[in-house]
Amino acid sequence: MARILSRVAPWLPSAPSRRLEGECLTGTVRVLGASDTGLLGELVARDPVANVFIDAQLAASGSAAPTSSGGMVLGRFDGGMLDSACWVGANVVPIEASAEAAVEFADAILPLGRRFSSVFGLSEAVLSIWSRLQDGPQRAFDIRARQPLMILDHAPPAGPATGLRPTLESDYDAVLPACARMFEEELGYSPLTGGGSYYRSRVRSLIRQGHSLVDFDASGAVRFKAELGTVSPRATQIQGVWMDPRHRGRGLAAPYMAAVAGYALSLAPVTSLYVNDYNAAALATYRRVGFRQAGEFATVLF
């Protein structure tokens, strides 16, 4: 089940392989601790959009120390200065890492004996990490090497759809199947196989946080839905965009995305998303809404 949830499930608990804060894993890489929080914050601030995942983690926890669920941040030091970092939990997420630094992180991660759901982030670092992790015990389910990172930092020029609203807890039973259909279209498997307790919990959490958005058609079925999968004070990341196939091809996507972006920009000054480079229709829609490419992500799914 963990591998099915990989791309959209960074909340899943990590494999039990704990390391102490401050512990050195290689000559240049060690586990960050509470005393490194300021340094990590400065590193993340270099690009709070690309680093929104760890920025949100820091905003929630207030510390770079390992988490109770086993997640931790590795730091690479050069001359005593923190020059890059890497989140290691259910997922591996490089932070401001060059290709060289990414390889060093991978060499530190392999001996930990953990299993991961995914590696995601800026493409150069992700693919460099994978160049080493591919020699480990896990086999990739899919490698998405080119995913344009799109950003929007101003009001969308397209008029927003008026029906989109935050999802209510009473909408859960209607929204969950739509979320699962989106997931299955994206990865080819249902996240609800075997009960899907983690996925169900994630959907509920997004609703309770006000980070799930939905519109219904006249029959009461979900016509469109999206989530703000990651939210920090400086940026948000839109995920889980889905339109019921019965309503596709009617020019509705851009107005809905304009509404999603407008809502996201009420929470932080910039919003972002990343999309597979072969999804020409989605890329065209995002550009019509005003998104522009600001980098490139990659994702390795296990």
Q: Whole-angstrom Cα distance, residue 127 to residue 299?
A: 8
Report the pLDDT value the prediction gives residue 98, as an integer from 0 to 100: 98
Report the SS3 class of residue 86: strand
**Model confidence pLDDT, tens digit, residues 60-102:** 999 999 999 899 999 999 988 999 999 999 999 999 999 999 9
What's the full length of the chain, in residues? 302
Report the pLDDT value the prediction gives residue 223, as an integer from 0 to 100: 98
Q: Whole-angstrom Cα distance, residue 276 to residue 170?
A: 33
Report the SS3 class of residue 36: helix
What is the arrangement of strands in the sheet containing 236-243, beginning at the earlier edge strand? 29-31, 72-78, 81-88, 91-95, 118-122, 292-301, 142-152, 271-274, 236-243, 222-231, 212-216, 165-166
pLDDT-flagged residues of the chain (< 50): 1-15
pTM for this predicted structure: 0.91
DSSP secondary structure of 42-67: HHHTT-TTTTHHHHHHHHHH---SPP
Q: Whole-angstrom Cα distance, residue 81 to residue 125?
A: 19
What distances in angstroms separate CA 177 from CA 88, 109, 174, 187, 296, one per listed residue? 30, 36, 6, 15, 30
Residue ranges of the alpha helices (H) in the chain? 37-44, 52-61, 99-109, 123-133, 172-187, 197-209, 253-265, 280-289
Strand 292-301 relative to strand 118-122, pairing: antiparallel
Name, in order, each residue with C-beta under 8 angstroms of 142's C-beta and a sequence gap of 6 or more: 187, 299, 300, 301
Other Cβ atoms less than 10 A from the Cβ of 87: the count is 21
Which tokens go with 191? 């996240």
Q: What is the DSSP letter of 220?
A: S
Other Cβ atoms less than 10 A from the Cβ of 277: the count is 13
